């Protein structure tokens, strides 16, 4: 199966503690929601192969702990990431307010200038929403990120978030070509932005 994997992409999930990073990842890789998931210590790691336009890309996804104290440890894993998912909890404004800090951190520690960033507002299933969708959208536009709202619990938007991120990375020249595989993906017709059936998706160039 690995033979037709054309490229391996390194992705990163960051954001405040408890916003649901590990839950989103678990939903994406195993399509389950585990309310008994422990708070992450250090970093965790998962792999998933994704088919995009008939090509397979292997995703190595690093899930980081959001606790303040681990933050001296985790940036080491930012290195070489091609895509990053920045998560906040729509039911906790403080997690949204902290986004700016995370972006600064990212700026400081990532090695690639052309890193693709995606903002995910999680837990939209909850009814005590504190952050409006438009606020997320505005933030994403301001910082040239992809944006989607999702729920790890109901699986809304989760698959789509990862797919769009990967697709965007593959469209970004130079971002993955230096990968050891050295092969060029032959991508079919690329529609700019989200012509795909993802309601919540919006691309800011």
Partner 1 sequence: MAADSDTESEVFEITDFTTASDWERFVSRVEEVLNEWKLIGNSEEKRLSEKSEFTSGTWEENFEEINFADFKFEITYHFLKQEHVKSNKKEELEEDAVPLAVQNLLSENNDFPPRAHCLVRWYGVQEFVVISPGSNCEAIISESKCNLLLSSISIALSNSGCQVPVFVQIQHKWRRMYAGECLGPGLRTDFEMVHLRKVPSQYNHLSGLLDVFKSKISCTISPVPPVSIAIRFTYILQDWQQYSWPQQPPDFDTPLGGEVGGVEFGKLPFGACEEPISELHLATTWPRLTEGLVVDNDVYSDLDPLQAPLWTVRVRTTENPQCLLGDVLSEFFKLCCIKETAEEILGRGMAEDEGKENSDISSALSKLTEPSATVPIHKLSVSNMVHSARKHIRRQRHMDESPLNAGILNTILLYLFPDAAVEKPSEYTKTKSEQSNTPGKTEQDKNSDNLFSQLKSAPSDSLTYRLALCLSLVNYNYGGLRAVAHVWQEFVLELRYRWENNYLIFGLAGGSPDLRCCLLHQKLQMLNCCIERKRARDDARKVLDEGKERAHRESGSSAAAVTSTKEVSPGKSWDSWSDSEEEFFECLSDQGDMDAPQTEEEKTGSKRKAEGRLHQYNSMNLLNSSEPLYVPVTQEPAPMTEDLLEEQSEVLAKLGTSAEGTHLRARMQSACLLSDMESFKAANPGCILDDFVRWYSPRDYVEEEVVDDTGSLVMKGHLSARMKIPGNMWVEAWETARVTPARRQKRLFDDTKEAERVLHYMAMQKPADVTLHLLPCLIHGTILKLKEEEATENIPSVQISLQQVVSQASRLMQTPARDYKRLEEFINRLIAMETVITQARSLKAKFSICDKAENREDLEIFVRSLLEEPEVLVIGAGQGPAGSIIHRMFVSAQRAAVLAPLDEDLNQERQSTESSRVPDFPSPAGREILLRTCVPRPAPYSKALPQRLFCVLLKDEFRLAGAFSSDTCFF
Ligand X SMILES: Nc1nc2c(ncn2[C@@H]2O[C@H](COP(=O)(O)OP(=O)(O)OP(=O)(O)O)[C@@H](O)[C@H]2O)c(=O)[nH]1
Q: Does 40 bind Mg ion (CB under 5 A)?
A: yes
Report which of 152, 171, 170 is spatially closest to residue 161, judged by C-alpha positions.
Answer: 152
Cβ pair 59, 14 in contact under 8 A: no
Should residue 79 be labelled a site residue for partner 1 when binding is judged by CB under 8 A? yes
Interface pattern 33-72 for partner 1 (x via CB under 8 A): --xxxxxxxxxxxxx------------x-x----xxxx-x
- Contact of residue 123 among ligand X, Mg ion, partner 1, none (CB under 5-8 Å per partner type): ligand X
Residue 125 partner contact from ligand X, Mg ion, partner 1, none using kind-dependent CB cut-offs of 5 to 8 Å: ligand X
Least distance in Å: CB of 176 to ligand X? 26
CB of 200 to partner 1, least distance (A): 25
Residue 119 or 185 having the CB closest to ligand X = 119
* 23 near Mg ion (CB under 5 A): no
Q: How many CB atoms lie within 10 A of CB 164?
A: 25
- Say how many C-beta atoms besides its own lie within 10 A of residue 143's C-beta: 16
Nearest alpha-carbon partner for 200 in 133, 131, 127, 132: 133
Edge-to-edge strands, sheet with 5-15: 43-52, 55-64, 5-15, 83-89, 116-122, 146-149
Cα Rg of the chain (Å, integer) = 16
In the complex, minimum distance from the CB of residue 106 to partner 1, in angstroms, rounded to a whole number? 13
Partner in contact with 111, chosen from Mg ion, partner 1, ligand X, none, beta carbon below 5 to 8 Å by kind? partner 1
Binding site for Mg ion (CB under 5 A): 21-22, 40
């Amino acid at each position: 199966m690995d033979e037709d994997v054309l490229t391996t992409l390194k992705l990163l999930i960051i954001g405040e503690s408890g916003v649901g990073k590990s839950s989103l990842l678990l939903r994406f890789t195993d399509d389950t929601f585990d309310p008994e998931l422990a708070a992450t210590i250090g970093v965790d790691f998962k792999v998933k192969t994704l088919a995009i336009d008939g090509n397979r890309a292997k995703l190595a996804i690093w899930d980081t702990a959001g606790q303040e104290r681990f933050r001296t440890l985790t940036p080491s894993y930012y290195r070489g990431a091609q895509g990053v998912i920045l998560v906040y909890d729509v039911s906790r404004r403080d997690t949204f307010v902290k986004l700016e800090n995370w972006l600064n951190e990212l700026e400081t520690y990532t090695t690639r200038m052309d890193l693709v960033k995606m903002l995910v507002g999680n837990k939209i299933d909850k009814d005590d929403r504190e952050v409006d969708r438009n606020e997320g959208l505005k933030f994403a536009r301001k910082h040239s990120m992809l944006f989607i709202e999702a729920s790890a619990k109901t699986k809304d938007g989760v698959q789509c978030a990862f797919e769009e991120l990967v697709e965007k990375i593959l469209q970004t020249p130079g971002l993955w070509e230096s990968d050891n595989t050295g092969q060029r993906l032959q991508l079919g017709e690329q529609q700019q932005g989200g012509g795909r059936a993802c309601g919540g998706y919006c691309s800011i160039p």
